[in-house]
A and B are shown apart, each in its own frame.
Chain A
Amino acid sequence: MLKIEILRMNEGDEIRLRINDEEKAFNYDTIDSLIDVFVNMAPNELDIVCPDDLELDNYKALLQNVFNEVQKDDFKNTYNSLKKSETSNDQIMGLFKNQNSK
């Protein structure tokens, strides 16, 4: 289960996310890492919580929608095939590095 808390900081100017007790900024990098996690999760494994706040509800909806989108087979298949080629590229680079270090 992944728990995401949506927080309002700095007198409401800043939105932050507490993901499994680790606080992170609401930015593109965090969303990217969340997508990487979402893609391997089961549909019922996400728990998004936020204070009773209409604006924060919108952020909650956004995260939930991202999760739902990532859960789609089309996304998962595309993501995994890219990940596979990314991994094999990394492996090739690793082999090169090992070769050079020898």
Chain B
Amino acid sequence: MDEWNAVDLHMHTCVGVTGDGETDVIENFSYHNFINSLKEYKIRLAAITNHNIINLVYFLVCRRLAKMIDTNILFGVEIDTDKETGENYHFVAVFQEPLKKCFVLAKTINENTKSKKITGKVRYNSAEIIELIKNYNVIIIPHGDKSKGLLRRPNENELRDALKKVRDGFIRVFDSPSDWKLARIKSLLDSEEYADFDDDFGGVLFSDNRDWKNYGKNYRNFYMNAEPTFNGFLHAITNPTERFATKEFIPVKRSYISKIVIKKGSNDARIDDCVINLDSGYNCIIGKSGAGKSLLHFLILKSILKEDDRRLSALKGAYGFAGENTVVLYDEKNHEIQPDKINCGVGERIFDRIITASTTRDTNDMYKVIDILNKGFKPKEKFISFVEKYKTTLKDYLALKNKANSLHKSILSNLNSFVTSVKVLCALKDIPTFEFRIPKILELLYSDEDVKTIKTIEDSIKLIKNTLSRLKDSDRVELEKELSNFENLFSAKLKQIQSKNNEIKLDSLKKDVVSISLNGVNSTISENATKKSEITGSMNQTISDLTKDILKMYKVKIGIQRFDLSIDCGLIDRCGDLIPNSGITFSENIDKRLVCELDVKQNSIFATRGIQQYLNNKIYDMSDSKESKQVIDTYYEKGKLTETDINKVFQNVDLNVNVYFDKQNVKELNPGDISKKYIQTYFENELMNGKNTVILYDQIENDVDKPFINETLLKIISEMKRKAQLIIVTHDPIVAVNADPVNYIEAIKEDNGHIRYRSFRPESDKQDELLEIAKCVDGSKIVIKERYEIYRGDKTYAEN
């Protein structure tokens, strides 16, 4: 069955009687034209409503033909009446009665009209209309002036406005025979309000067709989201703005679940074979406690989410037995739905997770809460970045400290050597030597190694040349020219480098010759003179090295001094919106005492195991540059600042994480406030993003109060179901009835423990499905009664 069905509850098939007793002419009626019109416009529900008369024969034969094209024809009549002002208007009455009763009704109407016709004025008075309503199951549709009809060519807003009037009771203003309602009917008939309504609105939802060769001219393109039956129409007028629409305003949905097929995988399977049909709009899963509602929710999730999806893992344990069944989902094109191929939103039980997080005080539990609210949230993002930088700083500091140590050793060694040399020179001060200072040996601009490496560029040039030869002439010539220029330039530069190096090398050789000659002269004087000459020669180098090391040491010390090893909490802490403009925020903070009152001996920032016995319990403020350096230096001195130690820094530090709803910490909020805020935000988000085509929610009403369900949740569901397929598990009568599901899925647990599911529309003609809903949703009898009171009268389901 289609979800939306074309409806026309006002069509003429035979000559009628006008209000003035004249003949109301019908043109071009034939069964052929009638059926073709229904077929062409795919009318699924129609009513034959001739003017002031009922031709039961036509009704019966048309009904039979229409049935062959799956169109339901209802029995009706268009009646003339007067307001108290004397102004004439029409209304259409459509009946649902057994054949015998229709037979009697037809006879009554026809006889009444006949007798009225004699007077020259066919008018049914209020009392006669009320008699009809008292005795028959009827829908009354006031029929205004079509030339002024609001819905002649309605836009969406006009249509919705008109449909709101339907909801206010204007389609079925006449109802059950209780006295107060009769009084109300009378007052409505005479009221100014009703008069306005008559002019503006009327029965222009339907064709009022009289010409069967031109049905299309009168066809209103009017659709109904309900079974194409009398009951379906009744059901639809309880929520007209959602259930009626002209074709262009019918929501178009894609990528939704149209069918679930469950099969037993083994004899141990506890879910019986079944096929569950779903609507593209709002599907409501109902059933008694423990019947398997949440199980079905799980089975759907299991079929459309990835196996490792977090939202599944929490449920797997509870429904392990479901593995004995195979579940296949189909989309609207009847294609099997593969996991992760449909964008699916899942409303979650956030309060339970908040309770867990508050109880365990485990940050990860609070991050699970955050994940429900914002899937893209990256925990500890700022903290992780800070720790990485801090580790790098510590490693740089460690390298500098090590360098200072090594320089210190080098300076000491050179100093010792210098002192020894001075002592020897003092002892040899009277030994004559031939002194001649040779200038410092010049250093090469490029080492021989460097020159060798640079020369490899020549090989590269050769390689490029060879490769270029593969190119076509047009591409090659320009590149070869550029390469040739480069080769010349490089060759010149290389020669220049080599020449300069050779010059320096020649100078060095000259100096070596002079030095060797001087040593030769001194060695001819004495052995001591040789020694003195050697020491004098080497001292220059020692002094030079010493000076260099001292200078380096100075720089390193300055570097160490300038190093900032403090911990800035501002670089760790963060707060902000979890969901923009929702009032849902978060904060992540490091414990300030951990940083500002750090016990050097034992703390969770640094690994102190193994050196604790060498440390006291002194407290340092790590946010202070000076004190933090003292702490790090202490660890360095105790050999506890190796790369391994640095890698463990902050490893055991956890952050304080909090979530706030409208500036109030969720841990301090009650379940109702949390759930309300979450539901509202969740759906607002879904409506804004519009990415998810299927939204599932298990027991949405949990923890929230009735006013919220009535005022907010109904509105949310109403908006959401126009955009996505909704599948909601509920126990709540308002969610199950007043939110107006198009389709119900009932979970039934048999006496043998087996579970089965069935899907149905509440307006079914076959059995009173509302009674079934009333039976398995606590408190729904009253809600159903209230919902249908205006339209349906005192039906029996509430008493059953």
- Give residues in A with beta carbon < 8 Å to B: 14-15, 26-28, 31-32, 35-36, 58-59, 62, 65-66, 69-70, 72, 74-75, 77-79, 82-83, 86
- Given A77-B32, A78-B35: A69 and B61 interface contact (C-beta under 8 Å): yes
- CB-CB nearest 7 A-B residue pairs: A78-B31, A82-B68, A65-B57, A35-B64, A74-B30, A78-B32, A69-B61
Size category of the binding interface on chain B: 20 to 34
Neighbouring A residues of B560 by C-beta, 8 Å: none
Neighbouring A residues of B322 by C-beta, 8 Å: none
Contact of B98 with A by CB under 8 A: yes
Instruction: Kindly state the separation between the CA atoms of A35 and B57 in the bound complex, as whole angstroms.
Output: 11
- Given A26-B99, A58-B107: A74 and B32 interface contact (C-beta under 8 Å): yes
Neighbouring B residues of A72 by C-beta, 8 Å: 31
Extra contacts besides A36-B64, A70-B61 (4): CB < 8 Å:
A26-B100, A31-B60, A78-B30, A86-B68
User: Looking across the interface, which residue of chain A has its beta carbon closest to that of B68?
Assistant: A82
Contact between A28 and B61 (Cβ–Cβ < 8 Å)?
no
Q: Which one, B57, B65, B68, B69, contacts A66 given CB within 8 A?
A: B57
Contact between A35 and B68 (Cβ–Cβ < 8 Å)?
no
Instruction: Kindly state the separation between the CA atoms of A36 and B64 in the bound complex, as whole angstroms.
Output: 9
Neighbouring A residues of B69 by C-beta, 8 Å: 82
User: Looking across the interface, which residue of chain A has its beta carbon closest to that of B98?
Assistant: A27
Contact between B65 and A62 (Cβ–Cβ < 8 Å)?
no
CB<8 Å pairs between A and B, sample of 23: A15-B100, A27-B99, A27-B100, A31-B99, A35-B60, A35-B61, A35-B64, A36-B64, A58-B103, A58-B107, A59-B103, A62-B57, A66-B57, A66-B60, A66-B61, A69-B57, A69-B58, A69-B61, A78-B30, A79-B64, A82-B35, A82-B68, A82-B69
Instruction: Kindly state the separation between the CA atoms of A58 and B103 in the bound complex, as whole angstroms.
Output: 9
Instruction: Kindly state the separation between the CA atoms of A79 and B60 in the bound complex, as whole angstroms.
Output: 13
Neighbouring B residues of A26 by C-beta, 8 Å: 99-100
How many A-B pairs fall under 8 Å by CB? 57
Contact of B56 with A by CB under 8 A: yes
Neighbouring B residues of A70 by C-beta, 8 Å: 61
Interface SS of chain B: helix, strand, loop or mixed? helix
Neighbouring B residues of A58 by C-beta, 8 Å: 103, 107
CB distance from A31 to the nearest CB of B (A): 5
Instruction: Kindly state the separation between the CA atoms of A75 and B103 in the bound complex, as whole angstroms.
Output: 22
Instruction: Kindly state the separation between the CA atoms of A83 and B31 in the bound complex, as whole angstroms.
Output: 14
Neighbouring A residues of B35 by C-beta, 8 Å: 78, 82
CB distance from B29 to the nearest CB of A (A): 9
Neighbouring B residues of A79 by C-beta, 8 Å: 31, 64-65, 68
- Give residues in B with beta carbon < 8 Å to A: 30-32, 35, 56-58, 60-61, 63-65, 67-69, 98-100, 103, 107
Contact between A28 and B57 (Cβ–Cβ < 8 Å)?
no
Instruction: Kindly state the separation between the CA atoms of A77 and B65 in the bound complex, as whole angstroms.
Output: 11
Instruction: Kindly state the separation between the CA atoms of A31 and B64 in the bound complex, as whole angstroms.
Output: 9
Instruction: Kindly state the separation between the CA atoms of A82 and B100 in the bound complex, as whole angstroms.
Output: 28
- Given A35-B64, A74-B31, A78-B35: A28 and B58 interface contact (C-beta under 8 Å): no
Neighbouring A residues of B64 by C-beta, 8 Å: 31-32, 35-36, 79
User: Looking across the interface, which residue of chain B has its beta carbon closest to that of A64?
Assistant: B57
Instruction: Kindly state the separation between the CA atoms of A60 and B340 in the bound complex, as whole angstroms.
Output: 65
User: Looking across the interface, which residue of chain A has its beta carbon closest to that of B61?
Assistant: A69
Contact between B65 and A78 (Cβ–Cβ < 8 Å)?
yes
Neighbouring A residues of B103 by C-beta, 8 Å: 58-59, 62
Instruction: Kindly state the separation between the CA atoms of A74 and B56 in the bound complex, as whole angstroms.
Output: 18
CB distance from A30 to the nearest CB of B (A): 8
CB distance from B23 to the nearest CB of A (A): 20
Neighbouring A residues of B30 by C-beta, 8 Å: 74, 78
Contact between A28 and B32 (Cβ–Cβ < 8 Å)?
no
Instruction: Kindly state the separation between the CA atoms of A32 and B63 in the bound complex, as whole angstroms.
Output: 9
Contact between A32 and B98 (Cβ–Cβ < 8 Å)?
no
Contact between A32 and B31 (Cβ–Cβ < 8 Å)?
no
Instruction: Kindly state the separation between the CA atoms of A35 and B98 in the bound complex, as whole angstroms.
Output: 18
User: Looking across the interface, which residue of chain A has its beta carbon closest to that of B63?
Assistant: A28
Neighbouring A residues of B31 by C-beta, 8 Å: 72, 74-75, 78-79
CB distance from A82 to the nearest CB of B (A): 4
Instruction: Kindly state the separation between the CA atoms of A99 and B107 in the bound complex, as whole angstroms.
Output: 52
Instruction: Kindly state the separation between the CA atoms of A70 and B61 in the bound complex, as whole angstroms.
Output: 7
Neighbouring B residues of A69 by C-beta, 8 Å: 57-58, 61
User: Looking across the interface, which residue of chain B has its beta carbon closest to that of A14?
Assistant: B100
User: Looking across the interface, which residue of chain A has its beta carbon closest to that of B55?
Assistant: A65
Neighbouring A residues of B65 by C-beta, 8 Å: 75, 78-79, 82
Contact between A83 and B68 (Cβ–Cβ < 8 Å)?
yes
Instruction: Kindly state the separation between the CA atoms of A31 and B35 in the bound complex, as whole angstroms.
Output: 19
Instruction: Kindly state the separation between the CA atoms of A3 and B326 in the bound complex, as whole angstroms.
Output: 56
